[in-house]
Structure 1
Amino acid sequence: MSRALIIDGYELFRISLREILSATGQFDDIDEVASSGDFISAVTSEAPVTLAVIHPYSIGLNESECLRLFRRVMPNAHIVVFRDKDTAETPAPADKNITILPRDANSDDVRDAALGAYSRPDKHMDTAAPLSKYKSKGGWDQRNATEHLSKRQREIMAMVAEGMANKEIAHRIGIAEGTVKAHIHAVFRALGVNNRTQAVVRYGSALRHSGY
């Protein structure tokens, strides 16, 4: 089971981060922490964390102390740390499983950093790319490919098939354009394609083989 923990004192950032992490399709649970008190409760719980996305200063904590406590309790978690501009010169942690991002990072940067939690072997992590679930001896298995996609991703793919741009899709369903892009990248990864045309072709083929 994969669990992500968003630790940020600002609600809008938590909402945006939840959208981006959800779009990856990699996390069974995504929990939020909005205060230092809740942070202590979260990191001392018995539930293992695959990924933690942290902005220490937004909950009134010092970065090094925050990371030290988190790492002591959850040594296997991948951590993404947001830094403000005034802390940009702070040395990067020696821990190779900590990724540093500026507070104004875009959705692609956040998504790639989150997926870094799956770039190394760990008993708590599913290290195989989603595409591996659909491969057979004869190549790509079309029967179950769409099962890995969320309802939102299927909704977006239907609009991609109509030829709609990301901005149009975002306006229609009321989410950020960056979130649409994150969903589409997650679909690319699940279907094993590199562009929208390939995604539409493979998605349509998978739907037909699934009986839709």
Structure 2
Amino acid sequence: MSPIRLLLVDDQQLVRAGLARIFEGRPDLRIVGECSDGDEVVDAVVRHRPDLVLMDVRMRRLDGAEATRLLTRLPDAPPVLVLTLFDDPEVVSAALTAGAAGFVLKDAPGEEIIQAVRAVAAGRGWLDPSIAPAVLAVYRSLRPRAGGSAAAAELSAREREVLALMGGGATNQEIAARLHIAEGTVKAHIGNIFAKLDLRDRAAAVVFAFRHGLAE
């Protein structure tokens, strides 16, 4: 299997060097490029074709949320895992709504960062457990957008139930227990939700659920 190709984006060289040490010796992870600011990201992605971008949020010229927003306009854009010292839920909210697939703290253990990279590269979302409640609180405070029902009209009743529980932060196992269905069935419903709503991952589904007033 080919290694996961990584692009590191951080305005501190020491942070990039520290990440490189974390990934060193991992045969399934390979750093293919580095950027020192957000305004370099689009060109670097076009040049290096990474499978995943590790993106700092606060940078001098262009912040990570805006860089992520620009990146998602590219065809076949790689997923973005936001990596930062800041656990401000507003910052996380901006990054996720811009299209980031996950968020992990810079001071997380190296193994946790590696876990997050592998999860996001595999198409799953990642939200650091220490800030998940605060982020969900931000989304719950948002005013639902008009047209939410129309946007989800293609979903079955069961898929809407699954999406509502995802929006509330439930895991697949918790959803299965709540709805009295198999975990494999939950995964199938989530796949259908992604396809019908044109969502890339779980983080995008959570954003959709809160933005459209569908979350439990």
TM-score for both structures, normalised by structure 1? 0.47
Task: Flag the structure with larger Rg.
Answer: 1
Q: Which has the higher contact order (CA 8 A, sep 6+)?
A: 1
TM-score for both structures, normalised by structure 2? 0.46
